[in-house]
Amino acid sequence: MREIGHFIGGKHVAGTSGRTADVFNPATGEVQAKVALASVSEIRAAVENAKEAQPKWAATNPQRRARVFMKFVDLLNQNMDELAEMLSREHGKTVEDSKGDVIRGLEVCEFVIGIPHLSKGEFTEGAGPQIDMYSMRQPVGIGAGITPFNFPGMIPMWMFAPAIACGNAFILKPSERDPSLPIRLAELMIEAGLPAGILNVVNGDKAAVDAILTDPDIGAVSFVGSTPIARYVYGTAAMNGKRAQCFGGAKNHMIIMPDADLDQAVNALMGAGYGSAGERCMAVSVAVPVGEETANRLVEKLVPKIESLRIGPYTDDKADMGPVVTKEAHARINGLIDRGVEEGAKLVVDGRGFKLQGYENGYFVGGTLFDNVTPDMDIYKQEIFGPVLSVVRAHNYEDALSLPMKHEYGNGVAIFTRDGDAARDFASRINIGMIGINVPIPVPLAYHSFGGWKASSFGDLNQHGTDSIKFWTKTKTITARWPSGIKDGAEFVMPVMK
């Protein structure tokens, strides 16, 4: 049985807590590895390594830090097939989808190669009589990231790349469900020239999370997961004097206007709703057709495409989607489908009971479609995180707009239309963080920032883009005047510029 420990101080370290968790193959239901679950002392060992290494790394000029990421990007490209296969083996998503996972993380690493420019401060000459004023950005010291199972490559890189580029050391606590890839990324960072101790990977559960949140030497924490845990992490981090950015759940709507290209909209819904078995925080889980005719035509076109989805293990290179990640996730998704039927939604395509020959014990859920869903139903209110699409029919544009506006989550939203006025109005009025216009999954590119509104996000600064540089640094502002410009005598009034 393969055993997965930690990566501390630039080397592999076996777990010492005596606690482990099973790592499953989602396609077969079999245990493929055991992963160590860290104790408080193991988290502390990682922090001590980071604490020792960080000052010298912070003193390394930004151009040399950037060169590490240049090399790291090259290594990611060289090892792409290996990384994708490693990810798929533990997550269950298709290999091509896993490559997309790694590439979206790689793009943030490309972005931070610009750290010599991104980390520059500001300067004002002559801000007052013989006074110059300038600011500088300095690292927070030690940062930490707590990442989810669904993007074990992308989200860790979204966190550690800007943090490390800014001169910080970093403690990564990845999901214990698919822990191999994050450790491999740390190995490649060392190969790229990163000093030992700057990136440490510690596997664990809530005990490790709490140790991170209460450790006095960790200055900032980034988290992605469910909203209840995001609230907990944000509150606990704040109580312990840490800066925090925490990203939670989502219920992403896609509005289909009567003038939309319906074939384009249907293809967009298929990819955004069922790709990665719906296990994406930006997955479209609610389709909102405007008008009965639009709704009827939409459902009519969706049904045969959903019924013809190719579902299989990651080793099937023709599969559209794989299994969900765990037995518990499988049971929860099926339970919510049951609940939708009980609440009166029309189950048009039923994915329950899907079995694949040779993989009968795998965690597969077939593509599922509900129609006539209403906002009071649990399948509308909850994030299902599975291959389940709900159709909520809207009488008109204003009714359609009100649905995502009133929902507690505000991660992403999309509108499909040929009407520029409608699209512009939608983008202006909607209270959602990321908006797509004829784009179903509006995840910004690396040089813009990723983040939702409402119960989908806690904290003032988003991931990647320039927000990430602000989050992982502290601003220091200096006001300087030299003796030749200082007059005799004390001044007892509030200083002002005259």
Which residues are identified as catalytic?
281
**Which strands make up the sheet holding 20-25, listed edge to edge?**
2-4, 30-36, 20-25
Q: What is the DSSP letter of 28?
A: T
Q: 36 has which bridge partners?
A: 20
Q: How far is CA 445 from CA 103, 426, 430, 431, in A?
A: 11, 21, 21, 21
- Report the C-alpha gap between 318 and 176 in whole angstroms: 28
Q: Under a CB-based contact definition with an 8 Å cutoff, are residues 173 and 29 in contact? A: no
Rounded to whole angstroms, the Cα distance separating 115 from 123 reads: 18
Half-sphere exposure of 94 (CA within 13 A, CB side): 18
The contacts of residue 242 (CB under 8 Å, 6+ apart) are 213, 218, 219, 220, 221
- Secondary structure (DSSP) of 317-357: TT-SB---S-HHHHHHHHHHHHHHHHHT-EEEE--TT---T
C-alpha 138/C-alpha 256 separation (Å) is 46
Considering only CA atoms, which of 260, 263, 350, 265 is closest in space to residue 309? 350
Parallel, antiparallel, or unpaired: how do β-strands 457-458 and 412-416 relate? unpaired
Closest CA to 251 of 392, 54, 110: 392
Q: Torsion-angle region of residue 276: left (phi > 0), alpha (psi -120 to 50) or beta?
A: left
What residues form DSSP beta bridges with 246? 223, 458
The answer to whether 329 and 363 have CB atoms below 8 angstroms apart is yes
